[in-house]
Amino acid sequence: MTVVAHLSDPHFGSESPAVAAALVDDLFGRAAPAPSLVIVSGDLTQRAKVHQFRAARAFLDRLPAPYLVVPGNHDIPLYDVWSRFLHPLDRYRANITEDLLPHVVADGLVVVGVNTAHGFTFKDGKVTVEQARAAAEVFAAHPDRFKILVAHHPFVLPAGRPARERVDGAEHALPILHDAGVEVICSGHLHAAHASDTGGFRDARREILAVHAGTCISTRTRGEPNGYNRLVLDGDRFTVHHRVWDGDRFTESSHKAYRRERGRWLHDPDVVAA
């Protein structure tokens, strides 16, 4: 069994210290199995200020497992126009990582991150065919591993969300990622937790699940408590456990289980997984 923690949108600069401390405690396995990998799908900071990046760096250094992180639109300076358009990710690269196509290979997984944040819009994201092909090359080098893509902006939206919230270029990138064998795309940005019922993108052969995480520690919640996802892979079963802050600690709020049959994911509504 492999456990991956999926965090998103901590927004250092608007974080709750109590929630942040409880999250680290939960990740260390106090009440649920500790993850072997932590993924963070962007918006580490509130306004891309150096002290906010330093706080994010300190948080990452406290995590109990290896991690993979990608930037979000809030990690690009908003009011510093010179930096925004000419050097949008310099502070992120200086304080978090130089790698804008990070990948981790461990425990039967290969996880690849892509950067969808850029300086030419205030909120929207973009993915290019070149980025999708670069990610596909990494996945291709590990044909027998479970494949997860991480991005800040969603490639597949929950029902009822406006189309403008989907990352620009998704329609061209998704077929490339699908052919590369991607099983799951993890994203954030919406501050809403969601896991697709079946394939967020599919054809007759196989499909991709879309998993979104809300804000893990920020006070900028949007109608739901702080939370994060624990992704559990156990053979041909995959379960998304949504854990939320209850005012004192993180507890399980809900889960969604799937089983894989002939390359297709089937939702198992009655399965209670570990």
Q: What is the mean pLDDT of residues 263-270?
A: 74
**Residue 3, by phi and psi: left (phi above 0), alpha (psi -120 to 50) or beta?**
beta
CB 69 within 8 A of CB 97: yes
pTM over 0.85: yes
Joined tokens for residue 176: 């490339």
Question: Could you read off the pLDDT of 118-137 as tens digits, one per residue?
Answer: 855 556 899 999 999 999 99
Cα 229 from Cα 150, distance rounded (Å)? 13
Q: What is the pLDDT at residue 122?
A: 55
CB 253 within 8 A of CB 227: yes
Cα 209 from Cα 73, distance rounded (Å)? 23
Cα 85 from Cα 39, distance rounded (Å)? 27
CB 38 within 8 A of CB 268: no
Q: What is the pLDDT at residue 273?
A: 47
Question: Could you read off the pLDDT of 54-74 as tens digits, one per residue?
Answer: 999 999 999 999 999 999 999
Q: Domains in the chain, ordered, with CATH?
A: 2-267 (3.60.21.10)
pLDDT mean across residues, the chain: 90
CB 71 within 8 A of CB 12: no
**Residue 13, by phi and psi: left (phi above 0), alpha (psi -120 to 50) or beta?**
left
Q: Report how far apart the first and last C-alpha atoms of the chain are (Å, whole number).
A: 9
Residue with tokens 């900028």: 220
More confident: 271 or 240: 240
Question: Could you read off the pLDDT of 173-224 as tens digits, one per residue?
Answer: 999 999 999 999 999 999 999 998 665 666 666 689 999 999 999 998 888 9
Q: Is 198 helix (H, G, I), strand (E, B) or coil?
A: coil
Kind of pairing between the strands at 37-41 and 237-245: unpaired
CB 183 within 8 A of CB 209: yes
Cα–Cα distance list, 88 to 20, 47, 49, 56, 73 (Å)? 27, 12, 12, 17, 10
More confident: 153 or 274: 153
